[in-house]
Chains A and B, each alone.
Chain A
Amino acid sequence: MECRFVPSVCSYCGVGCGVLFQVVDGKLTGTLPLKTHPVNEGRLCVKGWNLHDFSNSYLRLKTPLIRAFGRFIKTDWEEAIKIASDRLKEIVERHGPDSVGVLVSAKMTNEENYLAQKFARAAVGTNNVDHCARL
């Protein structure tokens, strides 16, 4: 029986509390707060306490899905990205670039946020960049 304790960061909101995962035989079985982490100092919210619960959920997606013929169809990344970009191009062509909005998040890295706004401004050609917190 292999028991490990792996320190990590909570994946929910932008605060980034330190968590400690209990891993038994390669499977996530429990979550605890990291007592010496400067952000949360040993405290967690209910979402943080239950990270191990959703991580192993059977409901999690394993492949990209495309909605077609009224159902979700499994596909691979190449196909999914191609379809998404084709549809987006179609929308920009038909309704103009300002019909698209891009929402960034505190949960993404600064680099990802930069990429998102660059995509919005340079690739799509719109100024509609906002933040999930303003929803």
Chain B
Amino acid sequence: MKRRIKEWLASGRIDIFLGAKMVDGHPLPHAFTRDRIEEIEEMVVGSVRYPLEKFAAQLTAANPEIRIGILARDCTRRALNVLKMWNQIPEDRIETIDVDCCPSPLKAHAACSYLDPPETGLFKKHFGIDGSASLETVEQYEPRDRLSRWMYEFQKCIKCYGCRDACPVCFCSDCTLEHKDLIGTGRLPPEAPIFHLVRAVHMAGRCVDCGLCEEACPADIPLRMLYRKVNALVDDLFDYRAGEGAGPPPLSVIGDRPTASPKPMGHGAVH
């Protein structure tokens, strides 16, 4: 793998490779470049995940000519597909080195799984939603019980926007969650459940179940469960799963037929 990356950098196939390196005992994301090509020897692949595809999108936005190589887990690959669909990264400027992992239900077969979630505590299991349970388990709760469990979770929210800031497929410069006429900033606590439901609706057909949102949430809200439900609905209704590269998401068009080219945000996109 390291040899291949060095070849790519040396030959000019890529200008930057986004991977990880140990710094002071922490595995940090690192942009390996041609002029310090020997650093590739120190590259690590581990269980700590940063949204590398988000960095790639930001770099290509600032410099459209740049060619980026990226260490791609399954979630990264799905996210890259979504970003390409939404015109956030150019098709031909990203090269991936694929590593296998993925405990998400969106992946048919996992070669290994780094990401066993921590054991859910008893209180949370009793009063809230167990994030590591299956969607079916949650759907079996009675409606009133289910609502009170979700409200228990949502009321812990401190509106840190970590879920949105960490999300690799969130890129809107005009975010609904910050728009002063819609949700707006500054008022705490956020209105539960509307804050989370608005985000969930925006994740429909977009979320790739990478889990970075849940990892970033200081209140341990089971966001993955919520977004899985929304995407299960999209799958049922439109037979569309985000990240498979199967064309524009059904919720991004107005009309009865998706058009050939995806529309950029702000023109015809459904909020």
Contact = CB atoms under 8 A, between A and B. Distances in A.
Interface of A: 1-5, 7, 18, 20, 22, 24, 29-30, 32-37, 42-46, 48-49
Contacts, number: 72
B218 A35 contact: no
A56 to B, nearest CB: 15
B161 A49 contact: yes
Interface stretch (B19-27, B122-130, B143-151): B19-27
Nearest to A30: B58
Contacts of A44: 160, 162, 216, 218
Contact of A35 (B23, B33, B66, B215): B215
A95 to B, nearest CB: 39
Interface stretch (B47-55, B242-250, B259-267): B47-55
Interface string B39-82: 00000000011110001001100110010000000000000000
Contacts of B223: none
A85 to B, nearest CB: 39
26 contacts: A1-B16, A1-B59, A2-B33, A4-B31, A7-B23, A7-B28, A18-B26, A22-B55, A29-B58, A32-B51, A32-B166, A35-B50, A35-B215, A36-B26, A42-B215, A43-B162, A43-B215, A43-B216, A43-B218, A44-B162, A45-B158, A46-B158, A46-B159, A49-B160, A49-B162, A49-B165
B30 interface: yes
A5 B28 contact: yes
A5 B29 contact: yes
A46 B161 contact: yes
Contact of B27 (A24, A30, A36): A36
A31 to B, nearest CB: 8
In order of increasing CB-CB distance, the 4 nearest A-B pairs are: A3-B31, A43-B218, A46-B160, A36-B26
Interface in B143-180: 158-162, 165-166
A29 B23 CA distance: 20
Contacts of A4: 31
A45 B160 contact: yes
Nearest to B48: A35
Contacts of B26: 7, 18, 34, 36-37
A5 B30 contact: yes
A42 B216 contact: yes
